[in-house]
């Protein structure tokens, strides 16, 4: 499989996740419950991460676990800005550029030092409304950050349906 094919498959998988993980509503109480769920799962797995949830431009949940650093706060903020600017997961932003054979740093028309297209932050999308915020982590390699958030979002949404 060529890198180009791998990029296309990755983008397709991420796009499916983005279509699947949609809320019917999202309140500040939901933000708290989701943040606590992420924190508890991260503690159980002993992950050295920073966790954040933003609604609009307001940070409504933030915590840093043992082993996380101020640099993780910076990465989380940069990846969150990517989600809010492009309206999709930060990994999806990077995959879209890679899949098109384009270099994000030179072709995105944004400052990559301010808006990072690296995995770990996912759009909070409400059905019939669109992207209203972002949830994410920083502290692991980007694909692991992304996978952790997706896993926790899936479980949170499944619990909400019960």
| Residue 36 contacts residue 102 (beta carbons within 8 Å) | no
| pLDDT for 1 beyond 60 | no
> How far is residue 36's CA from residue 98's CA, in Å, rounded to a whole number?
33
Answer for the pair 96, 147: CB distance below 8 angstroms, yes or no: no
pLDDT surpasses 70 at 3: no
CB 38 within 8 A of CB 121: no
Whether the pLDDT of residue 125 is over 60: the answer is: yes
pLDDT at 161: 78
Q: Which residue, among 120, 34, 44, 112, has the nearest Cα to 80 in the 3D structure?
A: 120
pLDDT band, residue 101 (cuts 50/70/90): confident
CATH topology of domain 3-161: Beta-Lactamase (3.30.450)
Tell me the mean pLDDT in the region 59-87: 98
159 token code pair: 């619990």
What pLDDT sits at residue 9?
Answer: 87
* CA 102/CA 18 separation, integer angstroms: 22
Question: pLDDT tens-digit profile of 7-60?
Answer: 788 999 999 999 999 999 999 999 999 999 999 999 999 999 999 999 999 999
Asked whether 101 and 4 are in contact (CB, 8 A), the reply is yes
């Amino acid at each position: 499989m060529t890198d180009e094919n791998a990029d296309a498959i990755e983008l397709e998988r991420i796009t499916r996740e983005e279509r699947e993980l949609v809320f019917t509503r999202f309140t500040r109480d939901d933000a708290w419950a989701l943040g606590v769920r992420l924190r508890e799962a991260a503690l159980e797995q002993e992950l050295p991460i920073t966790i954040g949830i933003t609604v609009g431009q307001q940070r409504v949940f933030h915590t840093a676990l043992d082993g996380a650093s101020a640099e993780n706060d910076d990465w989380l903020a940069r990846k969150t800005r990517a989600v809010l600017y492009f309206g999709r997961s930060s990994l999806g932003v990077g995959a879209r550029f890679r899949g098109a054979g384009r270099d994000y740093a030179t072709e995105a028309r944004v400052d990559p030092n301010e808006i990072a297209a690296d995995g770990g932050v996912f759009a909070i999308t409400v059905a019939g409304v669109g992207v209203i915020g972002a949830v994410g982590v920083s502290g692991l390699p980007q694909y692991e950050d992304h996978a952790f958030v997706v896993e926790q979002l899936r479980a949170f949404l499944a619990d909400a349906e019960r």
